[in-house]
Amino acid sequence: MPKKHLPNILSSLRMVGAVALLLSNVPSILFGVLYIVCGISDIADGWLARKLKCVTRTGALLDSVADICFVACCAWKLLPILELPQWLWLWAGVIVAIKVVNQLSALVMYGRCCFPHTLANKWAGFLLFITVPMTLWSIAPISIAAIVATFAAIHEGCVLAREEITRQLLDTIIK
């Protein structure tokens, strides 16, 4: 197997790991291990693609789909057991609404969905990854992550609204 396929294999394994999260109990060692492995694979696939010089449009799309699967499966398992205040639920809803509006805007403007891999989105994802488990003890860390995620969602909308799409953004467009 050529090394150039390793990043896409990691993204695919993240999707499998995300589905496995649905089959595990929360909290459990299995859930914790799967959560960490999925998170590490999210960092590793992009890094490896850049290191091996095999960044592709398909790989960027696969990474975005794997991210969505991971977040959706984590939300399905964790949200019912987290005791979050109503304002935080509303805030999360606003972030999701901004992300949906971003994609609808991209569909209208470009005829396609776009998942820009911006630095702000990467930081938001990383902070959410490390703070969501902490929410079992305190809501303070997730509040910080929510601030960054809000900024990232708004920034994503600004990137998508630019008249000229950059080459990086073109590589993340779903046709």
pLDDT digits (tens, 9 = 90+) for 89-141: 899 899 999 989 988 988 888 787 778 878 888 888 888 888 877 776 777 77
Residues 47 and 94 grouped into a single domain = no
Question: What's the domain count of the chain?
Answer: 2
| Average pLDDT for the chain | 84
Q: What is the pLDDT of residues 133-174, one digit of tens each?
A: 777 677 777 777 888 888 888 888 888 777 555 545 544 544
Same domain for 93 and 71: no
- Domain identity same for 75 and 88: no
Are 91 and 40 within one domain? Answer: no
- Same domain? For 114 and 47 the reply is no
Are 91 and 172 members of one domain? yes
Chosen domain end from 19, 50, 81: 81
pTM higher than the cut 0.85 = no
Same domain, 71 and 94: no
Q: Give 124: exposed, middle or buried? Use CB within 10 Å, 0-12, 13-18, 19+.
A: buried
Co-location of 97 and 117 in the same domain: yes
**With 80 as the cut, is the pLDDT of residue 60 above it?**
yes
- Residue 62 sits at the vertex; the CA angle it makes with 56 and 68, to the nearest 5 degrees, is 140
61 and 115 in a single domain? The answer is no
Residues 14 and 49 in one domain: yes
Structural domain span for residue 75: 1-81
Q: Which of 30, 53, 81 is the last residue of a domain?
A: 81
Structure tokens at 75: 């939300």
The rounded distance, in Å, linking the Cα atoms of 80 and 67 is 20
**Rounded Cα distance, 107 and 139, in Å:** 35
Contacts 24+ apart (CB under 8 A), 141-144: 142/84, 142/88, 143/88
